[in-house]
Structure 1
């Protein structure tokens, strides 16, 4: 028999493993912070990430992670996080359009390889789709 326990990555306490991979105390704390953010966004839908952080007391890095995970709806265009390459503010994905274009130019996608034709033994094949039963054989 094995115990399904682990150390919480946030506080270091021992907890029974669950889907969120953290102890109940840290889970409740994060849920409260997320609910405060959602309440603030409900009242002030045009808030920026900095304004949301200041109003709720939530760390910017946590907000960035929540935005990247999609915990806030995309109806809030002012909630941004930095591009992983140039740190420009973006709403979704990992790279801004400029950096994405640069990577596409630097590493073009390879041309699709044509599939080898199947050996049919020299005869033509065709597929037939029967949509009704042939009643003449009865």
Structure 2
């Protein structure tokens, strides 16, 4: 069911639904930018492009380009130089939300915390 909301881009009121988080006008503009990125990457000579190359050639901001990748809209497996930042350290990654280094650190911290909790229970 749709609900009334303010568009996060232009602040206009719109009916929010499961398909879009922005108003129709902003959604269409986003779709147009997405199509620009896809058209750029379809060209064989651009398959080694970096995030900065794509942004410079299409006019799409890096933040929005990262969102396309992170949300899975832009399939980057065929483009080895594309990625989006880890949510913790900003290192470029190609899947998930965290890089392997941050995942390892968090797992180690969790194990240490579990060990501390066991010691507290034993006392």
Q: TM-score range by the shorter chain?
A: 0.7 to 0.9
Structure 2 residue 101 is the aligned partner of structure 1 residue 98:
yes
Which of 55, 58, 62 is residue 57 of structure 2 equivalent to?
A: 55
Aligned length, in residue pairs: 108
TM-score, normalization: structure 2? 0.77
Instruction: Tell which has more relative contact order, 1 or 2 (C-alpha 8 A, sep 6+).
Output: 2
The alpha carbon displacement at 1:7 in A equals: 1.9
- Tell me the C-alpha RMSD between the 2 structures: 2.0
Structure whose CA Rg is larger: 1
The alpha carbon displacement at 1:86 in A equals: 2.0
TM-score, normalization: structure 1? 0.70
The structure that is helix-richer by fraction is 2
Supply the distance in 1 between the matched residues of 2:92 and 2:59 (Cα, whole angstroms).
21
Deviation digits for residues 19-51 of structure 1, max 9, x if unmatched?
202211101100000000000010112211111
State how 1:1-138 maps to structure 2 within 5 Å: 4-18=3-17, 19-43=19-43, 44-73=46-75, 74-108=77-111
Decide whether aligned partners of structure 1 residues 86 and 16 sit closer, same or farther in structure 2, where only a CA change above 3 A counts: closer
Supply the distance in 2 between the matched residues of 1:85 and 1:15 (Cα, whole angstroms).
33
Deviation digits for residues 86-124 of structure 1, max 9, x if unmatched?
2211111122111211211221397xxxxxxxxxxxxxx
Unaligned stretches of 5+ residues in structure 2: 115-123
Per the alignment, in what secondary structure is the counterpart of residue 6 of structure 1?
Answer: strand
